[in-house]
Amino acid sequence: MTPHRPPFRLPPTLVADAHGRRLLPLLAALATVALTVGALLIALAPRASAATLTPVSSFGTNPGNLAMYAYVPDGLPADAPLVVLLHGCAQNATAYHGHSGWAEHADANGFALVYPEQKSANNATSCFNWFERGDTARDSGEARSIRSMVEHAVSAHGLDADRVYVSGLSAGGAMAGELLAAYPDLFAGGSVVAGVPTGCAGNMIDAFTCMNPGKSKTPQQWGDAVRAKNPGWNGPWPRVAVWHGTSDTTVAPANGTATVNQWNNVHGLSGAPDSTARLPGSTTASYYGGDATDASVAHYSVSGMGHGTPVDPSEGCGTAGAYFLAAVCSTGYTVDFWGIGDGPVVPDPDPTEEPTDPPTDPPTEEPTDPAEPGECVTASNYGHVSQGRAVQRFGQVYAVGSEDPLGLWNVFVTTSLTETSPGYWELTSGGC
State the Cα–Cα distance between residues 20 and 10, nearest whole angstrom. Answer: 12
- Helices (H), ranges, 283-390: 330-338, 381-386
* Contact status, residue 176 vs residue 166, Cβ threshold 8 Å: yes
* Contact status, residue 376 vs residue 417, Cβ threshold 8 Å: yes
Concatenate the DSSP letters of all residues of 195-232 into one string: ---TT--SSHHHHHHHHTT-----HHHHHHHHHTTSTT
Residue type, 378: T
Catalogue the active-site residues: 170
Q: What are phi and psi of 407, to 5 degrees?
A: 105, -160
* Contact status, residue 135 vs residue 129, Cβ threshold 8 Å: yes
Could you tell me the end-to-end alpha-carbon distance of the chain, in angstroms, rounded to an integer? 57
Report CA 171 to chain centroid distance, whole Å.
11
CA distances for 49 relative to 70, 74, 75, angstroms: 16, 8, 11
